[in-house]
Amino acid sequence: MLLLPRCSVIRFTMDSLIAANTKFCFDLFQKISTDDCRKNIFFCPLSLSAALGMVRLGARSGSARQIDQVLHFNEFSQKKGNEPDPCLKKAEQEVPADSNLEGQKEVTGSLTLQTESSKDESGLLSCYFGQLLSKLARIKVDYTLSIANRLYGEREFPICPEYLDGVIQFYHTTVESVDFRKDSEKSRQEINFWVESQSQGKIKELFSKDSINSETVLVLVNAVYFKAKWEKYFDCENTVDAVFSLSESEKKNVKMMNQNGLFRIGFVDELKAQILELPYTKGKLDMVVLLPSGSADNLKALEELERNITYEKLVSWSSSENMSEKRVAVSFPRFTLEDSYDLNPILQDMGITDIFDETKADLTGISPRPSLYLSKVVHKTFVEVDENGTQAVAASGVVGMEKSSPSWETFNANRPFLFFIRHNKTQTILFYGRTSPAHLAHASWFLALSPLSFQKPGPAGIIMDSLVPASTWFGLDLFKDLSKTDEGNVLFSPAGISTTIGMLPPMTRGATATQEQEVPFSEKDTESSRIKAEEKELEKTEEIHHQLQRVLSEISKPNDDYELKIANRLFGEKTYLFLQKYLDYVEKHYHASLEPVDFVNAADESRKKINSWVESQTNEKIKDLLPDGSLSSSIKLVVVNVIYFKGQWDREFKKENTKEEEFWLNKSTSKSVPMMTQRQSFSFKTLEDVPAKILGLPYRSHDLSMFVLLPNDIDGLEKIIDKITPEKLIEWTSAGRMEERAVDLHLPRFRVAGSYDLEAASAGLCAAGLAGSPVGAGLRAQRLLHRSVLEVTEAGTEAAAATAVGFAVTPAQDWERFHCNHPFLFFIRHNESDSVLFFGRFSSP
C-alpha cells in the first residue's frame, strides 16, 4: 500500500480508467450532439483522453481537480484481487522505508491511497494510461490499430525534466524541439506532417494556418490510426441503392450494404431500439450500432436514444443478458464520416475552465514558469465503412436483394443511428458517432487526435475498473451536450479527449481552493520549494496516469488484423521553463515527448508544424486541426492526442449487395443512401429499457467492434438518447447480455466527420469545487479542439481523431432484422478493455 500524508483518498486500476474514458465519451457526446440532430458526429474519446492525460500529468491544484471530475478520474475504485498490479507495485517500491504509517486507512474491498496532492494521482493515472495505450497498440494480423503521441516544445522554453520523463515512460513519446518563436509556421507544418504520417495521410492540416504563433511554447499531439476488415464481409453484389429515412417527409438515397448471418443482437425495450454488434476480423474489435425502431420522425427517435444513453445503460444493453447471437438480416449504409472539433467551449461548458484562464491555470508540473495556460484543443476524425474493409474501394452493387425471410432478424439501418467502435478486451470505446444523411460519402478509416495548447497570460485512489466507466460517463455527457446544439451527425473520440485531458499539467486540474491557496508563489518563495511542491503534485497523480497508461497500452498492442495507433505530443514554447518531472511523467505514461517550438516569434509556423504532425499521424485524414489564427504568440504549450483506426469487418459486406435505399430522417423525410446488406450471425440484443435494438459488428481478430444502437421507431433516436447511461451501454453490449442471432443487416455506407471547440463543454467541471491548491498557478487552457473522421464501407472501417483534446420490429422465428434506414447511434469499442474508442451519431447521409 502506498502511504502518503494527508487528505484526498484515491483508488486506481486500469478498469477504472476504461470506465472513466467511457463515461467521458458519453458526456462529450451529449455536448456535441445538441446542436443539430441532422449532423453526423464522429470523434475518438481515446485520442482526447490521451491528449488531455498528458496535460493532466502536469496539472496542479484546482486545474487538476476539474480535469479529474470531467474525465471521471475522481470516481476510481480498486477491488482487491490476486493479479499483481505493476503500477501499484512500482508506487509501493518508491515509498521510503521509514514512511509514516499514521493516517493509513484500509477500506473493505478496496485499496486506498491517501495522498497530499494531485502529483501522485497524475503519475499513477499516466502509468495506467500508458499500459492501456500499449495494450491497444499491439499489432495484429487482421487489423491495424496504432497510437502515437508527440510533444512539440519551443526550443528555448524550459520543460520540467520529471514531466519529460513521464511522457516518455507512459506515453512513449519525446519532446521535439521546434522554433515556435521565430518560425511558428514552419513548426506548424512540421507538426501537421507528423500527424499526417501517423494517420496514413488521412488527416491533413490538423492545425490550420495561424493556429500556432510565436507565443506558442508547447503542443501535445495524439494520433490514433485504425484499419480493419469485417469478420463477415458484405458482398458488394448485395449493396444496393436504398432510402435512408429521417422522417416521413424527409428521405435520402444511400448505398446500403446487405448480408445475412449470425450476429450478436439485442433490443432496448425502454427506448424501442436495436443494438447490433458487427465484429471485425477475429472479434477483437467491434462496431456497435444502436438503431431506434422506425417511426414517423427518426431524428426525434435518435435524439431520445441519445438523451438516455449512459455508461451503465450501455453496459446493460451490450451485455450477454441483453444480446445474443441470432441470424440477422443486416442492412447497413456504406458511409464516410469526417469531422473536426474545436473543443475549447465544449470542455469549458463541461467544467474544465481554469486551464483556459490565464489567471487561474496551474500547469507548473509542465514548466517551472507559472505562466502557461491552455489555449486550444482540436480534434479531427475520419472514418469510412464499406463492404470489404477500409482499404477496399467503395462501389455500389446492382444485384437485387430478396426480402428478409421470417427466419432472420432484421437490422435495417435506414434511419439515423448511433455507433461506436470498441476494443473488446479493454472495453475501450475508440470512436463514437451519430449518423446523419447530409454528410454520407465514401472512404474507409478511423482516426483521432487531440491537440491542446497553453498560453502564457499577459501582464496583470484510481483503478482501471472505474477509469473506463468514468471516461464513458464523460463521453456520454459530452455527446448529449453536442446533440443539443447539433441535430446532424455527431462524431468524436471520448478516449482521445480523455487522454488529452489526462495529459494536462497537474496544475490545470481542479476548481476552487481557499483564498490563501489561490495565491501563487510570492517573491519570498524559493525556486526549490516551488519545484518540490510541484514534484509532490506529480507523485500524487502518478497512479491515475499509470492506469491510463495501462489502458492505452492494451488498446495499442500491435495487431496484424487492424491498425490502431494512439499518439500524443507536447508542443512547447522553447523559451518557457516546463517542470521536468511533468515532462518525464507525460513521456512515461503517455509516451509523449515535448517538441520545442517558437510560439513567440513563429506562432503560425508552429501551428503548421503541429497540424503536419497530426496529419502524418492520421494517414492524412485530419488536416488543419488547428485553424488559422488559433494560436498566438502568447501560447506556451499545445497538447495533442491522435487516434487512428483502420480495420476490416470480420465478415465483409459484398459490394454487389450494396444498393440505393431510403434512409428515413423522420416519418416524412428520407434520403437515398448506399445501403450495405448481409445476412450473418451477429451479436444482437433487443433492449428492454429503451425502444431500440443494438448490434455488434466485429472487426478481424474481434479485438474491436462497432456497435450500432438502432431505435425501433424512425423518429425514436431523440427519445432514447436521454435514457442512455454508461452503465446501460456497458450492460447492453456485455457478452452476457448480447447473444448471437441470425440478422438481416442493412447498414448505410457512410462517412462522418466532426469538429468541435470543447471550451464551453468543460465549464461544468468548475462547479464541483473540489478541494486543492493551485500552487504555482500560471498556465490556463484557452482552446480545446477536437476533430474526428470516420468512414464505414463494405470492407470495414477507417477512422481518425485528433484533439489539440425506424421500423417496428416484427418478431421473427429465427432471423433478426436490423435495417439501419433511419438515424442511429454507433461506437467502436476495444473489447478486452471495454474502452470506447469512437462514438457517433448518424442522422444525415
pLDDT at residue 789 in the model: 80
Q: Is residue 4 part of a domain?
A: no
DSSP symbols for 299-321: HHHHHHHHHH-EEHHHHHHTEET
pLDDT at residue 779 in the model: 57
Residue 651 neighbours by CB distance under 10 Å: 30
Decide if pLDDT at 782 tops 90: no
Q: Is residue 625 part of a domain?
A: yes
- Percent share of the chain, pLDDT over 90: 7
The larger pLDDT score, comparing residue 6 to residue 124, is at: 124
The CA-CA-CA angle for residues 633, 634, 638, to 5°, reads: 95
Q: Is residue 363 part of a domain?
A: yes
Using pLDDT thresholds of 50, 70 and 90, give the confidence band for residue 294.
confident
Report, as an integer, the average pLDDT of 145-166: 82
DSSP symbols for 230-277: BSBPPEEEE-EEEEEBBBSSEEEEEEEEEEEEEEEEEEEEETTEEEEE
810 exposure class (CB count in 10 Å sphere: 0-12, 13-18, 19+): exposed
Q: Determine which of 109-113, 334-338, 479-483, 796-800 has the lowest per-residue pLDDT on average.
A: 109-113
The larger pLDDT score, comparing residue 55 to residue 389, is at: 55
pLDDT at residue 256 in the model: 92
pLDDT at residue 478 in the model: 79
Cell numbers linked to 487: 441535430
Q: Which residues pair with 830 in a beta bridge?
A: 423
pLDDT at residue 447 in the model: 37
Single-letter amino acid, residue 831: N
Residue 799 neighbours by CB distance under 10 Å: 54
Report, as an integer, the average pLDDT of 476-493: 77
Q: Is residue 1 part of a domain?
A: no
Note down the domain range covering 625.
9-843
Q: In total, how many domains does the chain have? A: 1
Decide if pLDDT at 703 tops 80: yes
Exposure string of 673-703, with b = 16+ CB inside 10 Å and e = fewer, is bbbbbbbbbbbbbbbbbbbbbbbbbbbbbbb
Q: Is residue 465 part of a domain?
A: yes
pLDDT at residue 535 in the model: 64
Closest CA to 156 of 698, 575, 481: 575
Q: Is residue 508 part of a domain?
A: yes
pLDDT (tens digit per residue) in 392-430: 221 111 111 223 444 567 888 888 888 887 888 877 777
Mean pLDDT of all residues in the chain?
A: 73
pLDDT (tens digit per residue) in 664-674: 888 888 888 89
Decide if pLDDT at 135 tops 80: no
pLDDT at residue 105 in the model: 31
pLDDT (tens digit per residue) in 20-46: 888 888 888 888 887 667 788 888 888
Using pLDDT thresholds of 50, 70 and 90, give the confidence band for residue 367.
confident
Report, as an integer, the average pLDDT of 121-145: 71
> Rounded to two decimals, what is the model's pTM?
0.52
- Percent share of the chain, pLDDT over 70: 75
407 exposure class (CB count in 10 Å sphere: 0-12, 13-18, 19+): middle
The CA-CA-CA angle for residues 218, 592, 754, to 5°, reads: 75
Report, as an integer, the average pLDDT of 530-555: 69
Decide if pLDDT at 739 tops 70: yes
pLDDT at residue 578 in the model: 77
Residue 161 neighbours by CB distance under 10 Å: 16
pLDDT (tens digit per residue) in 438-477: 433 322 233 334 444 444 444 333 344 555 556 666 777 7
Decide if pLDDT at 658 tops 60: yes
Start-to-end CA span in the chain (Å): 53
Using pLDDT thresholds of 50, 70 and 90, give the confidence band for residue 507.
very low
Report, as an integer, the average pLDDT of 162-178: 83
pLDDT at residue 274 in the model: 92
pLDDT at residue 532 in the model: 65
Q: Determine which of 65-74, 509-518, 571-580 has the lowest per-residue pLDDT on average.
A: 509-518
Report, as an integer, the average pLDDT of 200-215: 80
Q: Is residue 569 part of a domain?
A: yes
Q: Is residue 708 part of a domain?
A: yes
